[in-house]
Amino acid sequence: MKAFYEVLEQLYKKVLLGATLENDSHHYIFYLNPAFSDQDCSTTTSLEWTNTFGIQDKHQLSSVKVAPISVAPVRLKSTSQMDVAREVKLLQLTVMEVMITRILSVETEFHAKEKYRDIIKILLESAEVDTKLISMFQNLDKLLSHMAAKCLALLLYFQLKEKIILSNSWITFCQKNLSEYSESDKVIYCLWTHTAVIKEIFKDTCSQKAEILKQFLTPFETIFEVFYNSLFSQHFENCQDTSKIINCLMCFLELLELLVASRIYLKLHFTCQRILFLKPSCVLEVITWPVQTFVKRKVIIFIKKCLLHKVGEDLFCGPVPASMPSDCHLEMDMLALANAVLQAVNLGLLKTLSVHGKPSFFGGDEIQPGCEHISDPDHVILRAVSLVIMKALEIKFQNCISANEMKVDLQRFMSELLTFLKPHLQPSLQLHNPCEWLSRVFIEQDDDMLEAAKVSVSIYLTLTRECEATESLTQEKEMCKHHTHENGYNPHCIFLFFLKNIGFDSTVLLDFLISSETCFLEYFVRYLKLLQKDWDNFFTICKYFDATESKYDINICGCDSSLFQDRSTNQTIPHRLTVLDSHVNACTWVSWDSSAASEPLNQVVMSKETHIMQVHSLSSPQASQSLVDYDSSDDSEVDSTNQCLANSKQTSLHQEAVKKIQDAAETSGDIKELSLDPQSRPLVPKYFNTPFSVNCEAAPNDIVLEVGISYRTVKCFKELQVAIYRLQKKNLFPYNPTALLKLLKYVEVICNKSMSPL
């Protein structure tokens, strides 16, 4: 027995290194063929091992011819017969797993790979190894049953890759246990193995992924729907063994995510891939079950990923088209899911959802007696719920409903959401601007925040187009815009709160543009296009922000609103803006053409998707020294915004902006080519020429300048424009930003024209 184990250990070492095996394949089958059942292992005595292998042991030892290899040996953990048998079986499974991994690897030498392939095929055909692995699922040894499931998943994937028909024993086992969920304890292994095989398909870089998955899912086309109905029809509160339901539920949600992902990426149309969309209310009802918070969180995040088309994106390998072709069937399924979400919210889903999380410590989550701790809400759930509701509204609005229906739905569901969020946001939301909720909820999660901001732009555009098409009275249009504020989804307010949170720092925007981890590029381009058409509304909102800062003593612009003074005369600047009684009544309606959001957005986003891989090349030795390789001290001076702000010199904000533009023109003369206006215009209108402190160290609380937040926004855009241009000039920007630069330049021109004196 010990000699048998030693030979198997030496075989493991050779396969681990991908070495070529010299002997006939049947010699290795002799060692890799596991015992059929636990009883075989436990009752096998030393004499039986000797009788079984006997003289062959010596022959095999000499024929394997394994040279000493410096690989960490696998040691026997016990000298008892049962432990030895267990170790042998675990090592057999490990060798098979490593051997299949070597077959699938492109780094394995051809002759070694062919030998491994031949051995695995013989194991499948003559030894019926898959049947033996299935029998191990009943083993009380959890490690052994888990290793058997892992090995079986790789064997199934090997069969799919080699176009070998899946064994009837595996198909029968799954069909029986999935259809008899309430009575079967082995269903978890069916779900886990299916998930593992689909993950292997996703990780593969071959072009036949769809064909391989089709071969795998065909035998289970109807059985998954039976299991789906059985699982979600359980009355959780009446179940004695709730752990079984929770384990199956968590496993099945992971499998469902992969099935939906394969629907999106591989364009297959099996019924099992559509189960969620055909009966979405079943999954949503889990949120109302008396289960642990992590289960509800899993369900909500799963729904969020589905609505955002982000299911399985971290698992899918290989080329993914930048713009997926439209799938009308998938769009209808997403609409069904969105409607189910809104219906659940309308029936009081948020009222039953608890988001109070338990405190987490290194020593556990239990609070010791005498220690007081106020637990924070589960912000993951808050973000996910918010994004799910907003995305569901967006999908519903994209499917041709009237403007009045949109207003009713927005009023109903956004007020429901804000009511749900209000108790969990400390300090509480400002009454004068409900739009602040988004930046508060998503402050710790950039990708979700930008997704939500992008959704707000989409909802705003859809609603305003419908209002423009159906409403002719100016008052009605103004009420439509007022609706966006009171329900907290005005895109201008959301963008201004976002800029405020990042301190109007153009370098942060630059980081977002370069990164491929968020949808900021798409959102930013859409917003810039909206800004071109809706500038008057944006400028009015900026004045409202400034007036609000003065009225409520709130630091909107990020400066200390104490005193703005003319440093040359030490005289206080006269107050130029009175507090607006009605923000909405001051807005002017600007029509929006639905065709305006096409060309630059597609240009910029497609350009980024095409060239995004260049981001990783920035870490090359040539580029790793600095993101911007300054040619002179003048160049470095252009980008040192933070250094200028921290400078102790009392330079006026207007003078600083003019100097930056002049310096940029001197050091980067080619940037003039981007100008859309032949005349040289100052960034700030002439009647704003009165200088004021950059540091905002002193200003009366009742004074707000019209150059406040609107000026800082455009100044941030200008700094971003210069930084992008200079990176592009040095070939350090990861994609072609020409269209983006034109958008930024055009916004600057609009700003200059709007601020010009009458």
pLDDT in tens, 696-737: 333 343 333 445 898 899 999 999 999 999 999 999 999 999
Beta bridge partners of 214: none
The per-residue pLDDT for 219 is: 92
Who's near 572: CB < 8 A, 6+ residues apart? 563, 564, 565, 566, 700, 703
Confidence of residue 434 (pLDDT cuts 50, 70, 90): confident
Q: Say which residue, 681 or 604, is predicted with more confidence.
A: 604
Give the number of other CB atoms < 10 A from CB of residue 621: 6
Task: Note whether 329 and 336 are within 8 A (CB).
Answer: no
Measured in residues, the chain has a length of 758
What residues contact 670, with CB distance under 8 A and at least 6 apart? 725, 729
- The pLDDT, as a whole number, for residue 358 is 57
Non-local CB neighbours of 294 within 8 Å, separated by 6+ positions: none
Confidence of residue 753 (pLDDT cuts 50, 70, 90): confident
| Rounded CA separation 657/679 (Å) | 18
CA atoms of 732 and 258, how far apart (whole Å): 37
- Taking the C-alpha atoms of residue 524 and residue 394, their distance in angstroms, rounded to an integer, is 18
User: Looking at residue 150, what is its pLDDT?
Assistant: 94
Predicted confidence (pLDDT) per residue in 314-334, tens digit? 777 655 555 566 778 899 999
Report the half-sphere exposure of 493 (CA within 13 A, side-chain side): 27
Share of the chain above pLDDT 90, in %: 41
Q: What is the pLDDT of residue 267?
A: 85
pLDDT(279) > 90: yes
Q: Tell me the Cα Rg of the chain.
A: 33
- The pLDDT of residue 707 is 55
SS3 call for 356: strand
Please give the structure tokens belonging to residue 421.
Answer: 């969020």
Joined tokens for residue 357: 């999380």
Q: What is the predicted pLDDT for the residue at 23?
A: 87
Token pair of 277 as six digits = 């969309």
What are the CA-CA distances from residue 519 to residues 40, 265, 526, 608 (Å)?
Answer: 57, 19, 11, 11
Check whether 586 has a pLDDT greater than 90.
no
Least confident of 387-391, 402-406, 500-504, 528-532: 402-406
Q: How does pLDDT run across 122-137, given as a tens digit for each residue?
A: 998 887 888 899 999 8
Q: What is the pTM of this model?
A: 0.76
The 3-state DSSP class for residue 645 equals helix
Asked if the model's pLDDT at residue 236 lies above 80, the reply is no
Q: Amino acid identity, residue 743?
A: L
| Res 652 pLDDT > 90 | no
Contacts of residue 692, defined as CB under 8 A and 6 or more positions apart, other chains included, come to 564, 565, 566, 573, 652, 653, 654, 699, 705
Beta bridge partners of 572: 565
Q: What is the pLDDT of residue 695?
A: 35
pLDDT band at 454; cut points 50, 70, 90: very high
For the ranges 216-225, 561-570, 640-649, the maximum mean pLDDT occurs at 216-225
Is the Cβ–Cβ distance between 286 and 232 less than 8 Å? yes
Residue 429: is its pLDDT beyond 70? Answer: no
Q: Give the pLDDT of residue 506.
A: 95
Distance CA 626, CA 649 (A): 28
User: At residue 585, does pLDDT exceed 60?
Assistant: no
Domain range list for the chain: 1-34+81-165, 170-188+201-316, 375-497, 503-553+706-757
Res 242: pLDDT? 81
